Amino acid sequence: MRAGRLTNGQFAWLLMLPALALFLAIIAYPLISSVVTGFFEQSLVRPGRAFTGLANFADVLGGDFWPVLRNTLVFTAGATIVPFLIGYALALALNAGIRGSGLMRGLFLFPWVIPGVVVSFLWLWIFNANYGVLNGILLRLGILDAPVSWLGEPATAMIAVIVTKSWASFPWIMVMLLAGLQTMPKELHEAASVDGAGAIRRFISVTLPHMKGIASIVVLLEFIWNFQHFDTIYVLTGGGPAGATETFAVAVYDTAFKGFDLGHATALGGLWMLLLLVLVAFYLRHETKERS
Amino acid sequence: MTTMNRRDALRLLGLSTFGVAALAACAPDATGGAATGDAAAKTFGFTSWSLNEAAQKAAVQAIVDAYAATNKVKIATASFPYNEYLNQVVLKLRGNQLTGAVQVDVAWLGALAAMGKLRDLGAQASAGGYTDVALSSGKFDGRQLGLPWTTGSIGLIANTELLTKAGVDGMPTTIDEFEAALGKVAKLGGGVVPYAAATKAAQLKDIFPWMQTFGSPLLSGDQVTIGDEPSVAAVEWYKKLYDAKLIAPDVDRFDARALFSQGKAAFYDDAIIARGVVASQSPDKALVQKMAPLSRPVLKAGDTPQALLWGHVIAVVEGEGADAAAEFARFATSDTATVADFFQKVQLPPTTTAGLADPKVAGDSFTTEWTEKITKTATANPFWRYAADAQIESAVAEQVQAVLVGNSSAKDALAKAAEAVEGLQK
């Protein structure tokens, strides 16, 4: 190589410099700053701060951390499994080549293109206890004697939130799985049929093993996204009633921006981030394994 | 191997650096452009939740437009929904992203004052002709941090037509009479909610006047009394109404207004603005004539009816455009023709002696009745003096909600609430 010329590696670093500068400015700095804030008593409305060591973390762990973790896991599991099953079923149906599958594919994508906040307000109206569409229909059909407060009772609020999030996210899962199904060689199914395998046997022995890779990626990504999800829960219940749907995202937001308590909010956020890192590590490990 | 010479690379690096620098230059100014000496400023901001509410938007925008046209200034307006307003204003103030005039609920003045960015409007206050009570609502720690725009109260409103249909003769004056009236309204059926009381956490601070009705002062000196026998009795009574379906789940101020406007609620809590809201929302144009303010029922005859003093002020953020914004705030809150016209459009009573004496205001029977039955005995929320007032109200609301949904007893929940409040008294 002649002197004065860059290697590919050097050139690559040069190209990355602007992105790195932005990363440092808008991701690394705020992240480090928020981790540090967790060790201070700091208010959003008062100037100054005081070092408190691990006190904020101890307060958080001795306070609502465990109920919030439980709620987050319930929401994450529900909002991952339900749309996954719906998306998988629809992907299989559309892949079977039934009439009108092209149109249906477009229609099913509709919930996915609507902004999350709009979806949440739509369902807020559907679930409203006093003038909601759901109660109106169920009362008219005689299924209910009295209106149910879907979002106002702890037993139903989490279900309502999961239903809403599932409605918004099943299309993406359906599209991903459908793409996976369409890469499956037809010969595999034909050979299994020749060997006498029925539809269920072919699904278990041919389709499932083929889809294992993409399905696990979809589930893992959905799980990570739902673990961080905010807008649906915040709009529908604000974490209520009585904390029944309060997940990490809502708890951190409320503590920081309604309670103005940056110290406790960032301590809770730090613990949340640690848990999230475990999930990300799983994802990266899975990715590496898939590639190799 | 693909290569490039060092000069090209440096050129590329220079362009990249320029790009990042340009981005940085476009980024918000960390100092917020804290310019001073802006008497001649021709541009300033006005942030208001009323601009986000259909019933008030046009009236507020008319004030802004009139002032801008007369004074040849440009007013950049911004708005956020009421329930998100405080945190948005706090975030923008903290990030030096907010300048000019800001509409502020009197309950939030403590939190915003703690940030140390509001201008003392003493000079404008003394020239505005405001009543003493109104001026006091904009004071914090002896400084006039807001010019009062409206001063009133939050109290109970009844739908007299529904009460007549239900066979309720006369307005209930005691808790027992109130409960009996709710029972009669419940028998109407048809989805009518007897009392559209707040049951969502966002508005459950409405429980405070009921706690006071049962005899709890909420705060005695600096001693939190939430959790005392009267406050527990109030929450147990509220829970009793909830279980008997005399109050409905999942209701905040906006739901209550919607139910009342549809003729589906006999009572609900609101400010005097209720009349304007109902007039704009209700399909029944005659409903406004059927609305009647009533004194909050008392525990036993002879007790003083409780109501929450309420109002909003216009504050001004120190910095760019502050002088011009202060003049706008004075105009919007004290120009007699403007405040009387504003009252006619949205029914928010003015705060100046001249404004209150204007025939449009003085001749309004609903306002007179409201003042006599509700505002006359209204008191400020004792927690307003704390910067963490909003957090205190949330802490109590969450515990009351836990009682309503059956997760906790009133005694345990209020003990927890009191502990949380004590931690927030700074």
Domain with A159, as residue range(s), is: 57-183+215-291
C-beta atoms of B405 and A243 within 8 A = no
Q: Which residues contact B379 (CB under 8 A, 6 or more apart)?
A: B212, B306, B307, B308, B309
Asked whether A135 and A147 are in contact (CB, 8 A), the reply is yes
Categorise residue A119: left if φ over 0, alpha if ψ from -120 to 50, beta otherwise: alpha
pLDDT(B12) > 80: no
> Tell me: the pLDDT tens digits for B349-374?
899 999 989 998 888 888 888 888 88
Closest partner residue to A44 among B19, B94, B401, by Cβ? B94
Q: Judge whether B167 and B148 are in contact, CB under 8 Å.
A: no
| Confidence grade of residue B110 (pLDDT, cut at 50, 70, 90) | confident
Contact between B42 and B74 under an 8 Å Cβ cutoff? The reply is: yes
Q: In this structure, is residue A100 part of a structural domain?
A: yes
User: What is the CB neighbour count within 10 angstroms for residue A8?
Assistant: 11
A148 within some domain:
yes
Question: What pLDDT does B34 receive?
Answer: 40
**Contact at CB, B116 and A47, closer than 8 angstroms:** yes
Count of domains in chain A?
A: 1
In this prediction, what percent of chain B has a pLDDT beyond 70?
A: 91
pLDDT tens string B118-157: 999 999 999 889 988 888 889 888 899 999 999 888 999 9
Residues B274 and B219: beta-carbon distance below 8 Å: no
| CA–CA gap between residue B199 and residue B406 (Å, rounded) | 13
Please judge whether A260 and B404 are an interchain contact, meaning their C-beta atoms are less than 8 angstroms apart. Answer: no
Task: Tell me whether residues B5 and A47 touch, CB distance under 8 A.
Answer: no
Residues facing B140 on adjacent strands? B143
Contact call for B91 and A242, based on CB within 8 A: no
> Quick check: B16 and A238 CB within 8 A?
no
Q: Which long-range contacts (CB under 8 A, 24 or more apart) does B25-33 make?
A: B28/B95, B28/B96, B28/B97, B29/B96, B30/B96, B31/B96, B32/B95, B32/B96, B32/B97, B32/B99, B32/B319, B32/B320, B33/B96, B33/B99, B33/B319, B33/B320
Across the interface, of A10, A242, A261, the residue whose CB is closest to B405 is A242
B199: nearest CB among A43, A152, A254: A152
Question: Does B6 contact A258 at a Cβ distance shorter than 8 Å?
Answer: no
What is the pLDDT at residue B18?
A: 47
| pLDDT for the residue numbered A44 | 86
Q: What pLDDT shows up at residue A96?
A: 84
Determine the pLDDT at residue B261.
Answer: 94
Single-letter amino acid code for the residue at A166? S
- d(C-alpha B252, C-alpha B259), whole Å: 11
Residue-wise burial string across A154-172, b where 16 or more C-beta atoms lie within 10 A, e elsewhere: bebbbbbbbbbbbbbbbbb
CATH of the domain at A125: 1.10.3720.10
Residue A139's nearest CA partner among A188, A254, A130 is A130
Evaluate if residue B426 carries a pLDDT over 80: no
Confidence of residue B5 (pLDDT cuts 50, 70, 90): low
Q: Is the pLDDT of residue B25 over 70?
A: no
Q: Which of B4, B114, B259 sits opposite A6 (nearest CB)?
A: B4
What amino acid is encoded at A24 in this protein?
L
> What HEC string does chain B produce?
CCCCEHHHHHHHHHHHHHHHHHHHHHCCCCCCCCCCCCCCCCEEEEECCHHHCHHHHHHHHHHHHHHHHHHCCEEEEECCCHHHHHHHHHHHHHCCCCCEEEEEEHHHHHHHHHCCCECCCHHHHHHHCECHHHHHHCEECCEECCEEEEEEEEEEEEEHHHHHHHCCCCCCCEHHHHHHHHHHHHCCCCCCEEECCCCCHHHHHHHHHHHHHCCCCCEECCEECCCCHHHHHHHHHHHHHHHCCCECCCCCHHHHHHHHHCCCEEEEEEECCHHHHHHHHCCCCCHHHHEEEECCCECCCCCCCCEEEEEEEEEEECCCCHHHHHHHHHHHHHCHHHHHHHHHHHCCCCCEHHHHHCHHHHCCHHHHHHHHHCHHHEECCHHHHCCCHHHHHHHHHHHHHHHHCCCCCHHHHHHHHHHHHHHHCC
Question: Scanning the structure block, which residue is given the tokens 């802004």?
Answer: B64
Q: Is A242 within a domain?
A: yes
> Quick one: DSSP state of residue A40?
E
Q: Which residues of chain A have pLDDT under 70?
A: 1-4
Question: What pLDDT is recorded for position B54?
Answer: 83
Asked whether residue A41 is domain-assigned, the answer is no
Check pLDDT > 70 for residue B244. Answer: yes
- Asked if B391's CB is within 8 angstroms of A44's CB, the reply is no
Report the percentage of chain B scoring pLDDT > 90: 58
Is A204 contained in some domain? no
| Count of pairs with CB atoms under 8 A, one residue in A, one in B | 129
CA distance B2 to chain A (A): 6
Q: What percent of chain A has pLDDT over 90?
A: 52
pLDDT at position A225: 93
Nearest neighbour of B115 by CB, restricted to A45, A128, A241: A45
A272: exposed, middle or buried (C-beta count within 10 Å: 0-12, 13-18, 19+)? Answer: buried
Record the pTM.
0.80
- Pairwise pLDDT comparison (B28 vs B276), residue with the higher score: B276
Q: What is the pLDDT of residue A141?
A: 92
């953020």: which residue's tokens?
Answer: B317
CATH placement of domain B153-308+382-424:
3.40.190.10
The C-alpha angle B383, B385, B391, rounded to 5 degrees, equals 50
**For residue A25, which residues of chain B lie inside 8 Å, CB to CB?**
24
* Residue at token pair 């009816």: B305
| B chain contacts of residue A129, beta-carbon cutoff 8 Å | 248-251
- Give A5's strand partners: B5
Of B3, B91, B259, the CB nearest to A257: B91
How confident is the model at residue B291, as a pLDDT?
A: 93
Whether the predicted interface score ipTM is above 0.90: no
Picking from A15, A33, A43, A44 by the largest number of B CB atoms within 10 A of its own CB, the best residue to mutate is: A44
Q: Is residue A256 part of a domain?
A: yes
For residue B14, what pLDDT is reported?
Answer: 53
Please give the radius of gyration of chain A, using alpha carbons only, rounded to the nearest integer.
24
Task: Say if the Cβ atoms of A238 and B193 lie within 8 Å.
Answer: no
Banded pLDDT at B29 (limits 50, 70, 90): very low
Look at B3 and A6 and tell me if their CB atoms are within 8 Å: yes
Q: In Å, what is the CA distance from A200 to each residue of A82, A207, B319, B418?
A: 21, 10, 72, 60
| 3-state SS class at A50 | strand
Chain A residues lying within 8 Å of B401, measured CB to CB: 240-242
In a mutagenesis test of the A interface, which of B6, B96, B145, B250 is the best target, namely the one with the most A β-carbons within 10 Å? B250
- Model pLDDT, residue A3: 59
pLDDT-derived band at B35, boundaries 50, 70, 90: very low
User: Strand ranges (DSSP E) for chain A?
Assistant: 40-42, 49-51
**Chain A: residues touching B (Cβ < 8 Å):** 1-2, 4-8, 10-11, 14, 17-18, 21-22, 25, 43-47, 128-131, 146-147, 149, 151-154, 238, 240-244, 254, 257-261
Contact indicator for B194, B186 with CB cutoff of 8 Å: yes
> What is the rounded average pLDDT of the residues B49-73?
92
Number of other CB atoms surrounding residue B18 within 10 Å: 11
C-alpha B326/C-alpha B316 separation (Å) is 6
CATH number given to B43-152+310-379? 3.40.190.10
User: How far, in Å, CA of B184 to CA of A96, rounded?
Assistant: 60
Cross-chain Cβ contact A128/B87 below 8 Å: no
- DSSP conformation class of A254: I
Contact A269, A34 (CB under 8 A): yes
Asked whether residue A34 is domain-assigned, the answer is no
Res B252 pLDDT > 60: yes
Q: Which pLDDT score is estimated for B273? A: 82
Question: Is A263 part of a structural domain of the chain?
Answer: yes
